[in-house]
Amino acid sequence: MVMSALNPFYQQQQPNLSTVNDATLMALSQQGNPQFTHGALLEQQAAQQQMQRMAVEKNIEVPKVNFYPSRHADPRKARKKDIRQAYRLLKPTKRSIFDPRRWLGSPFRYTKDTAVCAIDGCNVMELIQHDNLYAKICDEDTGKSLWELYWQNPVTGEPEAFVAREGVTSGRKLRATYCPEHLHLYHLLCKWEAEEERENEMRPSRFRDKIKKGVSIVSVPVTAVAAPPPPHPMVTKYESFFAEIMGDARKSKGINVQFYTNPQTEENDLTIITFDNRMFKQELLEMANPTPAFQDVLKQQAAMHQQHQSAPPLPVVPEIQSEGQQ
């Protein structure tokens, strides 16, 4: 409190999204960037929680993305702040200015393998082999996972690593990728910039510029545009149920949701939800029994406590009285 009162440039550290409750996320979605919806906040929170869970289970170092949405009252300014913050967090990490490899070789630190995150050096191959988090983090609008959007070839469907760029969304390609949490932030950044570009295209100045370039604008009546058919009442009735199922499926391996799309219309024709009781029992056992990494920590603490108790007592040094005290 004293620091914030004396220093006008002091900024209070924002909490991590993985530690806040659902009420806080709902409040954040109602202010600031309108494109940072409650569903996007839930996906970002799930990504952070799953990355931290992976660190405990596999005993590996995983990054923590310190992104917190802007609370500016103006939605456009809040979105601009979120875009600037995302660019700052997604820029590839550079070597030290005192490292000669920055000037003689590559200026970036983690650009030797496409299975390594360009920002923190996290080995994403271990994350994919243990528990593919890319397949669990989904877009809140389309329902497609990051694995389907960025890690699969759009033509062949074969797995293909996402390649990071020098300028985040532009520049030359690097021999590096993004971890799941950074990739989700990159996905949100692309959506925010696309929405900003659409709003800029609707400005009158853009129409005047197009007319000067010889582009004619034709007005199409609303009645000529075919409206999509309304959803079935049963689909509307169970919409909240499917939203809850999708949220639980990203947290538990015992729930599996499969979608079968029509290759001609690209609409979802069939949805199958599977509850695996074997995985539920395994998860209960894992919750009851601590992980090996946590057991090692308990053993180390017990050994330190035992060593402290078995240590010999310190010798007592007699006090030396001065002549005045005698």
- pLDDT per residue, tens digit, the chain (326 aa), is 333 333 443 344 455 666 666 677 777 766 667 767 777 777 777 777 777 776 666 665 666 677 777 878 888 888 889 899 889 989 998 888 888 888 887 888 888 888 888 888 888 888 787 777 788 888 877 888 888 888 888 777 788 888 999 998 888 898 899 988 888 889 989 998 998 888 887 777 776 777 777 776 666 665 655 667 788 888 888 888 888 888 888 778 888 888 888 877 778 788 888 988 888 888 787 766 666 655 665 576 667 666 656 655 555 445 545 444 44
Cβ neighbour number for residue 140 with a 10 Å cutoff: 16
CA atoms of 266 and 75, how far apart (whole Å): 33
Q: Is residue 260 classed as helix, strand or coil in its secondary structure? A: strand
* Domain edges within the chain: 12-198
Could you say which DSSP state residue 271 is in?
E
**Position 139: which residue type?**
D
**Position 2: which residue type?**
V
Exposed (0-12), middle (13-18) or buried (19+): which is 51, by Cβ within 10 Å?
Answer: buried
The predicted model scores a pTM of 0.57
Asked if residue 97 lies in contact with residue 207, where contact means CB atoms within 8 angstroms, the answer is: no
Distance of CA 206 to the CA centre of its chain: 34
Cβ neighbour number for residue 181 with a 10 Å cutoff: 28
Asked if residue 69 lies in contact with residue 20, where contact means CB atoms within 8 angstroms, the answer is: no
The pLDDT score that the predictor gives to residue 239 is: 82
CA atoms of 119 and 109, how far apart (whole Å): 8
Asked if residue 228 lies in contact with residue 125, where contact means CB atoms within 8 angstroms, the answer is: no
